[in-house]
Amino acid sequence: MSLQDITARMKAEEARTGRPTDTTKLIAVSKVQPDERVRAVLEEGHRIFGENKVQEAQGKWPAFKEEFEGVELHLLGPLQTNKTKQAMELFDVIHSLDRMKLANKLAALSAELGHCPDLFIQINTGEEEQKAGILPSEADQLIADCRALKLPVIGLMCIPPAEEEPSLHFALLAKIAKRNRLDGLSMGMSGDFETAIAQGATHIRVGSAIFGERDYG
Ligand SMILES: *Cc1c(COP(=O)(O)O)cnc(C)c1O
């Protein structure tokens, strides 16, 4: 796989499902990948990247941002409240807003910093205990409360349970977004991004299919 293979498959799926070309954003998930692989994708001209951890991103992205113009960085992993300010300073978009404590912190810091990243609210569509995200039954309230704080919520994000059919989760996410009049849908990874595009994904998050397997050793 490569960046070009993925963008070709994206275009094919957009065409097959009657969506305008290039309306899906590809977030290249560079967590844990060695710098030379990330650099290669930057040199191919890609500029939209995703990371899971604030600290890891702080270690590699300030230098890349200086070297390559127009980088857009997305935070995909859970965000601890005490790292909110650092996250807001580095990331353009945060996909893991899932609780009021974090919403209040983002709102307070927005006033102080004078800007706020675009936000996705993460929904725990599989209601998995170990997974981040708000429960589907509590999503409408959280969305309303975040809007009341004037936070720039642009959509919803989910990570389906590994062993389940992802399309059921993508459909649930799309349904919650629609009834709340939200346009953004952050869903689909290396194994299921075509399914996600068919179900209306606006942002897909693809790691290993672009960069190769992650080596956690
Ligand atoms: C790691 C990760 C991805 C990318 O996963 P791949 O299977 O490597 O494409 C996407 N989204 C989130 C939230 C992740 O943590």
For the stretch 57-73, pLDDT in tens is: 999 999 999 999 999 99
- Our answer on whether the CB atom of 207 is closer than 6 Å to any ligand 1 atom is yes
Q: How many residues does the chain have?
A: 217
- pLDDT given at position 216: 86
- Phi/psi for 120 (5° steps) reads -110, 140
Out of 189, 195, 208, 214, give the residue to mutate to test ligand 1, the one with the largest number of ligand atoms within 8 Å of its CB.
Answer: 189
- Our answer on whether the CB atom of 206 is closer than 6 Å to any ligand 1 atom is yes
Reported as a single tens digit per residue, the pLDDT across 158-173 is: 999 999 999 999 999 9
**Residue range 129-144: mean pLDDT, rounded:** 97
- Our answer on whether the CB atom of 187 is closer than 6 Å to any ligand 1 atom is no
Residue nearest to atom 10 of ligand 1 (CA): 205
Q: Which atom of ligand 1 is nearest to the CA of 76?
A: 13
Measured CA to CA in angstroms, residue 52 lies from 32, 61, 94, 195 at distances of: 9, 13, 10, 23
- pLDDT given at position 170: 98
Q: How far apart are CA 94 and CA 79, in angstroms?
A: 9
For the whole prediction, is pTM greater than 0.75? yes
- pLDDT given at position 54: 98
Q: How far apart are CA 155 and CA 169, in angstroms?
A: 15
Q: Quote the tokens at residue 145.
A: 């409360």
- Kindly indicate the confidence band of residue 12, based on its pLDDT and cuts at 50, 70 and 90: very high
> Has residue 196 got a pLDDT over 80?
yes
Reported as a single tens digit per residue, the pLDDT across 69-87 is: 999 999 999 999 999 999 9
**Residue range 169-194: mean pLDDT, rounded:** 98
- pLDDT given at position 217: 78
- pLDDT given at position 84: 98
Nearest to 183 by CA among 160, 206, 200, 199: 200
Tell how far the Cα of 129 is from the centroid of ligand 1, in angstroms: 19
- pLDDT given at position 215: 87
Measured CA to CA in angstroms, residue 72 lies from 42, 62, 105, 192, 209 at distances of: 11, 12, 22, 23, 20
Tell how far the Cα of 139 is from the centroid of ligand 1, in angstroms: 22
How many CA within 13 A on the CB side of residue 51?
A: 22
> Has residue 46 got a pLDDT over 80?
yes
